[in-house]
Amino acid sequence: MFDIREPEPPPTELEPAPPTVADAPAKAGRATALAEIIVCSGFPTQLAVAATMAAFGYSELSLGYVVVLSLADTALVLTLILLFLRSHGERPGELFLGGRPIGREILAGLPLIFGALGLAFFAIVTVRWIAPWLEPAEPNPLQALIDTRQAALLFALVVVTAGGFREELQRAFVLCRFDHGLGGPKVGVVVGSLAFGAGHLLQGADAAITTVLLGAFWAITYLRRGSVVAPIVSHSGFNLLQLAQMVVGLA
């Protein structure tokens, strides 16, 4: 039997074509990328580690608590990142190192330590000049935990491992995922840097704003070089110099 119905007119520019079955994998890919970004952002994992420690009666803010929480969260985040990369057939070496010589990248990262320091100094001075009320009335609560040289050494382990190393691998992973249909690396730099700053609000609003700029600085460095080594060196060196400033004068 012939179909005597009139054929439907083709879609015009004002009437976009309805979504096809081919759109489903793209949407699923974007949803997966977003879910992986959230899981590896550090917030869910840190809450999970903190809840586990609290279940064992370990919740008082102390140097030991900060060290255990930071290192356990680092191990969990990096494990998840590796699992997600492997599940998609991606090679961690390509994402994190980009085939660039590690020694050369280390040398490239050394002057970026002072670039980060200069950026932080400029940002802090500018923020406190424009909005002096953002300067915290109380000192950084973490600084009170560093009361001996032994405590400073433990904290140095944290700022290098959970700071410079973990956060730069995490940043590279997040930028990669934004490149999977979530607006691209530029959007990833903005969103990731804002989240990075939010994670440092405990240190004060002025420090959080400065951290946003530092996050963007290290993200752009990674995108330009295609390797996390220089950002890791810069970030770790920056953190160690900040820590050294805190512990000057300790017996």
- Pick the more confident residue, 151 or 145: 151
Rounded-to-5 percentages of helix, strand, coil across the chain: 75, 0, 25
Task: Output the average pLDDT for the chain.
Answer: 85
Provide the pLDDT for residue 206.
82
Residue type, 237: G
- Per DSSP, the three-state class of 55 is helix
What is the pLDDT averaged over residues 173-186?
90
pLDDT-derived band at 22, boundaries 50, 70, 90: very low
Exposed, middle or buried, 66 (CB in 10 Å: 0-12/13-18/19+)?
middle
Residues 6+ apart with CB under 8 A from 209: 123, 127, 134, 197
Any idea which residue has 């489903």 for tokens?
24
E-assigned strand segments in the chain? none
Rg (CA), the chain: 23
Mean pLDDT of 34-42: 92
Q: What is residue 60's predicted lDDT score, i.e. its pLDDT?
A: 81
Full-model pTM: 0.85
pLDDT confidence band for 250 (50 / 70 / 90): low
- Contact yes or no for 212/193 (Cβ under 8 A): yes
Q: Which amino acid is at 13?
A: E
What pLDDT shows up at residue 199? 77
Q: Which of 82-86, 148-152, 185-189 has the lowest mean pLDDT?
A: 148-152
Q: How far apart are CA 214 and CA 240, in angstroms?
A: 15
The pLDDT value given to residue 8 = 54
What's residue 18's pLDDT? 52
**How large a percentage of the chain has pLDDT more than 90?**
57
Share of the chain above pLDDT 70, in %: 86
Q: CB neighbours of 145 closer than 8 A, spacing ≥ 6?
A: 61, 62, 63, 66, 151, 155
φ, ψ for residue 99, nearest 5 deg: 75, 10
Tokens 């903005």, residue? 190
The DSSP string of 218-235 is: HHHHHHHHS-SHHHHHHH
